[in-house]
Amino acid sequence: MARANHRLTKIPEMAIRRLSVYTRCLQQLEEDGVKTISSQELAERFSLNSAQVRKDLAYFGEFGVRGIGYYVAGLKAELQRILGLDREWSVALVGLGNLGSALFHYKGFARQGFRIAVVIDDDPAKIGREIESVPIVGSRDMAREIKARAVQIAIVAVPPEAAQTVTEQLVAAGIKAVLNFAPTRLRVGREVRLKNVDLSIELETLSFYLAKGAR
Amino acid sequence: MARANHRLTKIPEMAIRRLSVYTRCLQQLEEDGVKTISSQELAERFSLNSAQVRKDLAYFGEFGVRGIGYYVAGLKAELQRILGLDREWSVALVGLGNLGSALFHYKGFARQGFRIAVVIDDDPAKIGREIESVPIVGSRDMAREIKARAVQIAIVAVPPEAAQTVTEQLVAAGIKAVLNFAPTRLRVGREVRLKNVDLSIELETLSFYLAKGAR
């Protein structure tokens, strides 16, 4: 019934985002010693939508077993493989201001296999130094470092006015995916995956509920 | 056909998140001098799904006009009202480390009406000082400040081991919504809206596409 159809259908980005959430839920279940779980139980325990869970998973294969549900460890491993989390990714962090420093120290990245391999910053006081054994280089040397370290993903945490230029340099250096924290709209070619993080959207979900409560 | 049914139906959080995205698109259109737009044009221009746009908007009312589409300025104002962005929200920022400092200076919050009214940090070197005229207080004074400034939303940017305790103090002080950046699972009562920001999920969407391309 639900066969792997990811070669036929365009998978919504939100479904991929939800796979990340499911993976975290399965991780939690595994830590709690749960071996198997139905989509209903999974949905109830983590406030998900069970029909949505089944639909999302169906994009990638047939994971449920009749009368049993999902094998927690097996499904987790499978989702991690789909998300590319069964390997390590070298990441370039661009910009080591407040936000860049916070992202550098963010524990969640390394836990999922994203290793910051090089930091790029044009502050003369930082160039040539290291932060926790990771080299800090100026943008004039970024292409060399990105190639030498086989970096495919860049996190952009520079001021908005610098973001477009640095992104073009990153793409020229071979970067294939950009996670942009600068509050500006970047333009990249179709060969590059761009994801913008807009932190105020998260606050707006909260103000929606507060405003609704007040109405 | 598409009548406001938000009193009858549970609105998916993702739909609310998308309202924020639509609001930004409409803002952009308004700046470009566009007066009206159809859902198809809106979808094409911003890589959205036009059926999804119509469905999401239908949760809140009947906004389209036959033969015209949407009035850009009117729809934007209406969505802003729904999202609670037609007013200012006082926010408490808890934790002024790297991430807290980055969030304090993040331009996007103020632009959407979220004003950081008080910073809470227990570093003796920070307590009693100000940052850009915003007072920094210790956690022992947070309840007083939160009440005095009518703060309803808190942004938690403390180390994971401190997050649960501080969140309980915030809730006791009257906070109604928490945006949590600490990479830990917080427990709050049903009367409090909690939103966790997991920055590695954004990276995982990118690694999915890179891994897919490599398969």
Per-residue pLDDT 10s for chain A (215 aa) are 344 444 445 788 888 988 998 999 999 899 999 999 999 999 888 878 888 899 999 999 999 899 899 999 999 999 999 999 999 999 999 999 989 998 998 888 988 899 999 999 999 999 999 999 999 999 999 999 999 999 999 999 999 899 999 999 999 999 999 999 998 889 999 999 999 888 888 899 899 999 987 76
Comparing A21-30, A78-87, B2-11, B124-133, the range with the smallest average pLDDT is: B2-11
Tell whether B176 is within 8 A of chain A (Cβ): yes
pLDDT score, position A184: 84
pLDDT score, position B10: 76
Total domains present in chain B: 2
Task: Express each pLDDT in B137-181 by its tens digit.
Answer: 999 999 999 999 999 999 999 998 999 999 999 999 999 999 999
Containing B125, the helix (H) or strand (E) segment is: none
Tell whether B208 is within 8 A of chain A (Cβ): yes
Strand order through the sheet with A89-94: A130-131, A134-137, A114-120, A89-94, A153-156, A177-180, A193-196
**Does residue A1 lie in a domain region?**
no
Contacts B20 to A, Cβ<8 Å: 198, 200-201, 204-205
Asked whether residue B102 falls in the same domain as residue B151, the answer is yes
**DSSP character string of A27-87:** HHHHHTT--EE-HHHHHHHHT--HHHHHHHHHTT----BTTTBEEHHHHHHHHHHHTT-SS
Judge whether residue B80 has pLDDT over 90. yes
Asked whether residue B130 falls in the same domain as residue B190, the answer is yes
pLDDT score, position B9: 58
Q: Cα dist. A94→A91, A118, A119, A161 in Å?
A: 10, 9, 6, 14
**Does residue B38 lie in a domain region?**
yes
- B 117-146 residues with CB < 8 A to A: none
- Return the residue matching tokens 């994009």: A59
Judge whether residue B211 has pLDDT over 60. yes
Closest in A82, A83, A179 to B202, CB measured: A179
Domain assignment of residue A96, given as a range: 89-200
Tell whether B107 is within 8 A of chain A (Cβ): yes
Whichever domain contains A28, its CATH number is 1.10.10.10
CA distance A1 to chain B (A): 23
Asked whether residue A72 falls in the same domain as residue A94, the answer is no
pLDDT score, position A199: 86
Tell whether B88 is within 8 A of chain A (Cβ): no
Assign B159 to helix, strand or coil.
coil
pLDDT score, position B5: 45
B53, B82, B111 - which closes a domain: B82
Closest in B183, B195, B207 to A202, CB measured: B195
| Percentage with pLDDT > 70 across chain B | 95
Assign B82 to helix, strand or coil.
helix
Asked whether residue B49 falls in the same domain as residue B115, the answer is no
A67 contact partners, CB below 8 Å, separation of at least 6: none
**Does residue A178 lie in a domain region?**
yes
Q: Which residue of B has its CA nearest to A22?
A: B201
Measured from the Cβ of residue B215, the count of other Cβ atoms closer than 10 Å reads: 7
Asked whether residue A77 falls in the same domain as residue A162, the answer is no
The per-residue b/e assignment along B183-214, b for 16 or more CB within 10 angstroms, e otherwise, is bbebebeeebbbbbbbbbbbbbbbbbbebeee
CB B134 within 8 A of CB B109: no
pLDDT score, position A202: 87
Is B99 close to A106, i.e. CB distance below 8 A?
yes
**C-alpha to C-alpha distance for B194 and B186, rounded to whole angstroms:** 8
Task: Express each pLDDT in B151-161 by its tens digit.
Answer: 999 999 999 89
Residue B164: which of B194, B144, B184, B145 has the closest Cα? B184
Q: Which residue of A has its CA nearest to B182?
A: A106
Q: How much is the ipTM here?
A: 0.85
pLDDT score, position A6: 46
Contacts A114 to B, Cβ<8 Å: 200, 203, 207
Tell whether A152 is within 8 A of chain B (Cβ): yes
**C-alpha to C-alpha distance for A44 and A46, rounded to whole angstroms:** 6
- B 3-42 residues with CB < 8 A to A: 12-14, 16-17, 19-21, 24, 28
CB A80 within 8 A of CB A19: no
Tell whether B183 is within 8 A of chain A (Cβ): yes
CB A180 within 8 A of CB A195: yes
Tell whether B177 is within 8 A of chain A (Cβ): yes
Q: What token pair was written down for A125?
A: 């006081």
- B 56-75 residues with CB < 8 A to A: none
Whichever domain contains B121, its CATH number is 3.40.50.720
**C-alpha to C-alpha distance for B68 and B154, rounded to whole angstroms:** 41
pLDDT score, position A9: 58
**Does residue A134 lie in a domain region?**
yes
Task: Express each pLDDT in A67-120 by its tens digit.
Answer: 899 999 999 999 999 999 999 999 999 999 989 998 998 888 988 899 999 999
**Does residue A206 lie in a domain region?**
no
Tell whether B203 is within 8 A of chain A (Cβ): yes
Average pLDDT over chain B, rounded to an integer? 90
Asked whether residue B52 falls in the same domain as residue B71, the answer is yes
Comparing A1-10, B61-70, B103-112, the range with the smallest average pLDDT is: A1-10
pLDDT score, position B212: 84
Tell whether B211 is within 8 A of chain A (Cβ): yes
**Does residue B196 lie in a domain region?**
yes
**C-alpha to C-alpha distance for A114 and B206, rounded to whole angstroms:** 11
Q: How confident is the model at residue B2 (pLDDT cuts 50, 70, 90)?
A: very low
A81, A109, A138 - which closes a domain: A81
Closest in B83, B84, B201 to A20, CB measured: B201
Asked whether residue A149 falls in the same domain as residue A59, the answer is no
Judge whether residue B12 has pLDDT over 90. no
Cα torsion through B98, A200, A16, A103, rounded to 10 = -10
- Return the residue matching tokens 């990249």: A188
